[in-house]
Amino acid sequence: MAVAEDQLWSALQQGDRRALARAISYIENGVHDFAGLLAGCTPADIPVIGITGPPGAGKSTLADALIGHYVMEEKRVAVLCIDPSSSLYFGALLGDRIRMSEWYTHESVFIRSLATRGSLGGLHPRAIEITDLLKQAPFDLVLIETVGVGQNEIAIAGLADTTLIVLAPEAGDDIQSMKAGLLEVADIFVVNKSDRPDADLFVHNLRSMQSPAFRRESRDIPIVKTIATQKQGIGELAQRISEHRKNGSSGKRYGLLAEQAWLLIQQQRMQDVDRKILAEQIGELSKKGEFNLYRFVNGFI
């Protein structure tokens, strides 16, 4: 590694925010992934809290309220805000800069907005490396807010120690179409905007979705009512997060690490495979009448 990059690594570990921001940009743009340095680090036992759920449930407002709660407890908080990318230009409207504007210059808070860059699952394709990089800087916890997701787009469960599923009472019957995926990944349900009509009925229905099978497996998922705009219920939610971390099973932790290892191995093995080049090769073979999908794929195995 170049001396400048070595100095950058040392600076971010000492709390230099500019060095941290630059290192994240290196990972994000593929300049350097810091894998070698991360491989030499002692694992940092810093909780990662994932915030996900359908669009419009108030995830960003809830994240803002949680930041305020942890800052009041004199904790240092790192926040990753993931926004969807344009399918044409791969840019993103980073609306979290507006909702969390109070914290961007706060000495105890570091916020970084990232675009999904076409990645499914509601996360940036390099989210694991960036999260581990944040753990090497002096923070007490990491918050990750994903894009609005549904049943099949919940990759945050493979990254966060505690996954919050944020819902709003008006979700109504829509929750039925998502419940299988949500029940599999939720550690805590957050019913936000709970001052709205039928909030109690929605909580009742959400609780009834948790079948006896889930309860036999100790999967009785807590439900917390919040009004994030008024900071109501945030203290109870933080307590639930703390309890989940204390009572978390080693089995889930190992499964979480296995999922991260699988994703990183997949990235490494696929790093030399380019879709554009694949299309060109397929085109050339097809013109010669020699293309067979399975023979073609076997050439990469």
CB 190 within 8 A of CB 224: yes
Tell me: the pLDDT tens digits for 105-129?
889 999 988 876 555 445 667 788 8
pLDDT at 102: 78
User: Using CA atoms, how far apart are residues 200 and 220, in angstroms rounded to an integer?
Assistant: 18
pLDDT in tens for each of the 301 residues of the chain?
Answer: 454 667 888 898 888 999 999 888 888 877 765 677 777 777 778 999 999 888 888 998 999 999 999 999 999 999 998 876 544 444 444 555 556 667 878 899 999 888 765 554 456 677 888 888 899 888 999 999 887 655 445 567 778 889 999 999 876 555 665 555 666 778 999 999 999 988 998 898 888 877 654 554 556 789 999 999 999 999 999 999 999 988 876 566 677 778 778 777 877 788 788 888 999 999 999 999 999 888 898 888 7
pLDDT at 88: 44
CB 193 within 8 A of CB 58: yes
pLDDT at 91: 45
What DSSP letter does each residue of 117-164 carry, written as one string? TT-TTSS-TTHHHHHHHHHHSS-SEEEEEPPP--TT--GGGGT-SEEE
**Residue 24 structure tokens:** 């994240």
**Residue 71 structure tokens:** 């800052």
CB 59 within 8 A of CB 66: no
Three-state SS at 110: strand
pLDDT at 211: 61
> Does this model's pTM top 0.85?
no
What are the chain's domains? 1-41 (no CATH), 43-270 (3.40.50.300), 273-301 (no CATH)
What DSSP letter does each residue of 182-238 carry, written as one string? HHHH-SEEEE-STTSTTHHHHHHHHHHTS-HHHHHTT----EEE-BGGGTBTHHHHH
Write out the E strands in 30-149: 48-52, 77-83, 109-115, 141-145
pLDDT at 89: 43
User: Using CA atoms, how far apart are residues 111 and 101, in angstroms rounded to an integer?
Assistant: 10
